[in-house]
Each structure stands twice: as C-alpha cells, then as structure tokens.
Copies of this chain bind each other. A is one copy, B any other.
C-alpha cells in the first residue's frame, strides 16, 4: 500500500505547522484566507483524507458497531445484518461482523477482541452453546464494564441490556390459530430442543391456541428436533400420528414436512396444511409455496442498531434497558387452505 499523504507532510511541504494545516482544512477563522486556500489547494491536489485510526484514537470512538452472530448462512440473520447496516450507515457507523459458530469459546474470544477498542458497542445474538450451558459471564462482564450492548432474537433475561425480540409466543399462537380457523383438528408441531428459547416460546403459543379450543395437548404431536441427528427421520415420526396440519418453527422443518407428506402421497393443502416460520426464499419459491410467520428481520436489525447507537451517543443519561418486541404476521400462501 502506498503511503498516504498526511497533515504532517502537507505542513512540511508548505512550510507551516500541522496545527495550521488542520485548522485550515477545517476552515478555521484563525487562519488567513490566503493560507487556507494554499493549503486546501495542496490537500485537494494530493487527495488528502484524514486517517481514520488517528481520529478514532484521538476521539476515543471508532464509529464501528460490532455484530456477533451464531452464523450467517441463514436468511434471517443476513436480513438482520442488512437492517443493522442500513441504520448504521445512515448514522455514520460501519459494521464489523463476526461469527460465534454457535460456540461459546469463540463467542468469548470475539467479544474480547472487539471490545479492545475496535468498536463502540455490540449487537449480539447468543450462541446456542452459551444458552445451553447457561454460561453467560462474558455478557455480565460487558454490562459490568458498561459496554453498549443490544441482544436480539436469542436473548437471556438475566442480562440487563437493550434487546429486540420477536413475539414468539404470539407468533406461535397466530400460526396455530390460523390452522384451527381453517378447520384443522390434529395439529402437529415441529420445534427445537427446549433450551432454545425461540422454539419454546413458539410451542407455548401453540399450546395456548390448542387449549383454547378445549382440546387436550397430545404430546405425540410435539416433535423436538435435535439438529445433531438426522432431521428427516425425526420429523418422519410425526407422520405416524393422525394429523391434518403441521406447524414448523422454521423454514427447513416446514419444507422437510412437505417433502415427507408428498412422499406419503398426502395432498397439500387438501389433506395437510403446513405453516412455517421465517419468511425466506424457501417458503416463497417452493411449490406449493408455504404459509409462514414473517419475521421482519430487517426491522429487527434497524431497531437494534437504533437502540445501540442511542445508547452509545447518550453515554451520560443512563436509560433503563429497553426491550422492543417485533410483532410478526402471517403470510398466507398455498400450503394452507383458506
């Protein structure tokens, strides 16, 4: 990389001091018009632009937001990034993206690296392993050190910080209610293991909707998918039961259910209605297209970024932590009869 032109160089070449150059470039009244013009012309000609690192060190702020995600190859997360980036950009920030790969150790290391002065604050969705172990000390430390922090989607209420979440209970309720309304009687649910909060919440919404109809919850209709095992065969078990509808807590489970149903010769939506979660490309482009709970990842990202930047820029006024609940809505497509 070619050395870049600096204020120092300009000062030396023009026979003035660095203070004069700095002031001239910022159009200070302290500098005479002629000098200003001379300096500006020179700077312009050599395409001077101030060095960011120097500014960051001096101003003690980086204008960078750190983002730590469990993974990125996932429609929801990339959508969130997109939302964060939009707001960050508008408010003069850049984003530095890292991944925990769902591993607690990498989450800890990444937090360490980023908080050594590289970023002004963090937006995080917690790794599964950390949630499972309930080992959240690295987050408590952030709070302790007053590092601006916003959690989203995968959060934990023992961590006192701003957060942005989906109304998962409400969403599970809405999805199930929709299936009930179109006349389904035996509704299975495909969800995550219990330590994943989002799956648990969606299940709660499901149970509430079912109970309202007076029907008893049938444990056999609840599948907790363990992602370390074969997904297909786990979901397959649900089809041993008599079902006329499936609520899946993500796109992939939904698509897999549809595939199994087709293999069994079940017609969709005539014999089986399916509702998924996350409005990604699979739901939109598979045939039949899949009715889903749309998760507004973009909005979540925007809100998270706004919360974080507000927090960063109002360091003085200690606001009590806020939780923004993003309500989701149902996008009805071909996989559920209307």
Binding site for B on A (CB under 8 A): 1-2, 4, 49-54, 56-57, 62, 64, 71-75, 78-79, 81-82, 85, 94-99, 112-114, 116-118, 120-121, 145-148, 251-252, 255-256, 258-259, 262, 280-282, 285-287, 315
Contacts and interface: CB of A to CB of B under 8 A. Distances in A.
Contacts of A118: 52-53, 94
Query: What does DSSP make chain A's interface, helix, strand, loop or mixed?
Result: mixed
Nearest to A88: B98
A120 to B, nearest CB: 8
A2 B62 CA distance: 15
A281 B262 contact: no
Contacts of A74: 78
Contacts of A256: 285
Nearest to A51: B117
B73 A79 contact: yes
Top 4 A-B residue pairs of the complex, sorted by shortest distance between their CB atoms: A255-B285, A52-B117, A286-B286, A51-B117
A252 B286 CA distance: 10
A78 B72 contact: yes
A249 to B, nearest CB: 15
A57 B62 CA distance: 13
B57 A54 contact: yes
A82 B73 CA distance: 7
A238 to B, nearest CB: 17
Nearest to A142: B1
Nearest to A97: B97
A116 B51 contact: yes
A244 to B, nearest CB: 19
Contacts of A121: 1
A63 to B, nearest CB: 10
Nearest to A258: B287
A1 to B, nearest CB: 5
A68 to B, nearest CB: 11
Contacts of A49: 112, 116
B1 A148 contact: yes
Given A1-B121, A54-B57, 20 more contacts: A1-B120, A4-B117, A4-B145, A52-B116, A52-B118, A53-B53, A53-B117, A72-B81, A94-B98, A94-B114, A95-B97, A96-B96, A97-B97, A255-B286, A255-B287, A256-B285, A262-B287, A281-B281, A286-B286, A286-B287
A315 to B, nearest CB: 7
A57 B117 CA distance: 12
